Amino acid sequence: MLLWRGLRSPKLTIGALVVLSVTVVWGFFIPQQLDHAPHLNTVLWRSNLPQLLQPWGDFLFSIGLAHIFQTLWFWFPVGTLFINSLIALADYTPKAWQRWQSSSPSIEWQHPLATRSIKTMPIRKNINWDTLKKPLNEQGFITHQNDKEDRLSATKYGWAWLIVSVIYMGLIMLPVALLGSYYYLEIDQFVLSPADKQQNALLAGQLELQMDEQDTIVYTPNQTKVEKSLSGSLYQPQFLSRVLVMVTSFDPVLTVHVSNSSDKLVRLLPFQENLDPSERLHLPLGDNHQSLYFRIVSEGLTFQITPSGEGEYNIQVLREQEITPFVNETIYEKTPLSVDQLSVHIATNHQAEILAYYDPFTILYLLSATLIFSGGIGLLLRSPVLLWFVAEQQDSYQWLHGATERFGKTKNGQHLLHELLHFFPPNHDELT
């Protein structure tokens, strides 16, 4: 019985949620080892940590925080939350349902999450319950007097006793959704460059960032071939083939391509480590005066491009084994530059970084959050209250016992009883 009460405890619920939240935040903001990726070594993982955590990098790696979603750090609170919510739901719901259905709820059972207040006073022998029914009805209570006429019960928002069960139903859905996401979640993050057509397996279609309308992304499904335009607004979620897609950044780039005398594009080698050789480079524009570099290996030429103004660029070209540029000119955007029978073209564009997210259990997360938050707001606005008044003959005295049960602080119940029992003046003569 003690173990049962411990497992249903709301303190355990809160503890499991806190630990789970911490592990999820850690997993999202600290680099994690993915199942399909090459295994990280300690040094590489530690170098990606925030500077404050780097001295403890070896220890954190050894206890599994480099792949937290595959360890007990994550799954233990998930399992604990599921068991706790299941037991709490099984324990609270049946009797809370009986309370809602019954016109005269039993005083024998107290809701484990509610508090009771009790007050007793001597009264005259001829008690009139109608004196109490009127103020109770005015406050929204539904009253019921039992057949023995020695007891009066009153309830307000009786249905709200089931709100706790609704909250725990939402909490049960959360571990189920997390388990489903572990097996079925797919995330793809990629960069879409100007005039770049990319096939995406997750989206089952082709994406293209149009150069003439840089804020428009065109999506073409493989099945229907019907184009659909996406808004380039940052962090505006959109659904494509049941996949949630959003643009996480729209960064300026300098698009460069070089053609020879036959109008054939020449292969360019960028200096940036994160860019691959291509016939059309999209060089990130950081600082307005930051120089950008690329090479044409076949011609032995190195190019330096430095923004010098709005739509204005300084281009310097250096031959191999020479230290002085043989070309040093300033040109305007979209104005080609001739270098050794080569035509250099530059234009300012944008490239989009796109996040594609597919999880069939997303609806379960939304339903869970809806139940939890709506239940919490419901308890805040419509907290249930139960009142019992029992007249008892004891020796030569008659006593009136008042009890209230509600979610919240006990002093609120004491205040309510004190107000209601004033309708029955105490019989001081019988006590002397």
Per-position pLDDT tens, the chain of length 432:
778 888 888 899 999 999 999 999 998 888 777 554 445 567 778 877 888 888 888 888 888 888 898 899 999 999 999 999 999 999 989 988 988 888 788 888 888 888 888 888 777 666 777 878 888 888 888 888 876 668 888 899 989 999 999 999 999 999 999 999 999 988 888 888 887 788 888 888 888 887 665 567 888 888 877 888 777 677 788 888 888 888 888 888 899 999 998 889 999 999 988 888 999 999 998 766 789 999 999 899 999 999 887 788 999 999 988 889 999 999 888 889 999 889 999 988 888 888 898 999 989 999 999 999 999 999 889 889 998 888 887 766 778 888 889 887 666 667 777 777 776 665 544 444
- Burial of 55 from C-beta contacts in 10 A (0-12 / 13-18 / 19+): exposed
d(CA 32, CA 65): 8
* Secondary structure (3-state) at 243: strand
My answer on whether 193 and 178 are in the same domain is no
Domain count, the chain: 3
Tokens 């007891």 correspond to what residue? 151
Question: What's the CA gap between 419 and 417, in Å, rounded?
Answer: 5
**151/285 same-domain check:** no
Are 202 and 360 in contact by the 8 Å Cβ rule? The answer is no
User: Are 243 and 299 contained in the same domain?
Assistant: yes
Judgement on whether residues 353 and 277 belong to the same structural domain of the protein: yes
Cα torsion at 370, 371, 373, 375 (round to 10°)? 150
Token digits of residue 306: 């430095």
pLDDT at position 430 is 45
**Whole domain around residue 280: which residue ranges?**
187-358
CB 348 within 8 A of CB 254: yes
Contact predicate 332/312, CB 8 Å: yes
- One domain for residues 180 and 197: no
**Same-domain status, 214 and 304:** yes
339 forms beta bridges with 342
Q: Work out the widest C-alpha separation in the chain, in whole angstroms.
A: 121
44 within a domain of the structure (yes/no): yes
Same domain, 247 and 337: yes
Q: Per-residue b/e over 343-361, b at no fewer than 16 CB within 10 Å?
A: ebbbebbbbbebbbbbbeb
pLDDT of residue 395: 65
Pair 179, 194 in one domain: no
Q: Does 366 map to a domain?
A: no
Q: Are 136 and 234 in a shared domain? A: no
139 and 8 assigned to the same domain: no
My answer on whether 282 and 354 are in the same domain is: yes
Task: Judge whether 402 lies within some domain.
Answer: yes
CATH number for the domain spanning 412: value is: 3.30.310.80
Length of the chain as a residue count: 432
Domain boundary (149, 184, 219) is at 184
367 in a domain, yes or no? no
Residues 173 and 241 grouped into a single domain: no
- Is 372 within the bounds of a domain? no
Who contacts 169 (Cβ-Cβ below 8 Å, separation ≥6)?
85, 89, 371
Identify whether 74 is part of a domain: yes
Tokens read off for 143: 């009253």
Position 185: which residue type?
L
Whether 364 maps to a domain, the answer reads no
For residue 148, what pLDDT is reported? 62
The model carries a pTM of 0.74
In sequence order, what are the residues at sequence separation of 6 or more whose Cβ sits closer than 8 angstroms to the Cβ of residue 409? 115
Output the six-digit token pair for 142: 């539904």
- Per-residue confidence (pLDDT) for residue 334, from 0 to 100: 81
Extended beta strands in 261-380, E state: 269-270, 281-284, 292-296, 301-309, 312-319, 327-332, 337-339, 342-358
Contact (Cβ atoms closer than 8 angstroms) between residue 387 and residue 142: no
SS3 of residue 141 by DSSP: coil
Q: At CB < 8 A and 24+ separation, what contacts does 72-78 make? A: 73/23, 74/20, 74/23, 74/24, 74/27, 76/19, 77/16, 77/17, 77/19, 77/20, 77/23, 78/20, 78/175, 78/178, 78/179
Give residue 424's pLDDT.
66
CB-based contact 351:249 (threshold 8 Å): no
241 within a domain of the structure (yes/no):
yes
Task: State which of 184, 219, 243 marks the end of a domain.
Answer: 184
Identify the pLDDT of residue 229: 78
Q: Can you name the residues that pair with 359 across neighbouring β-strands?
A: none
The reported pLDDT for the residue numbered 358 is 92
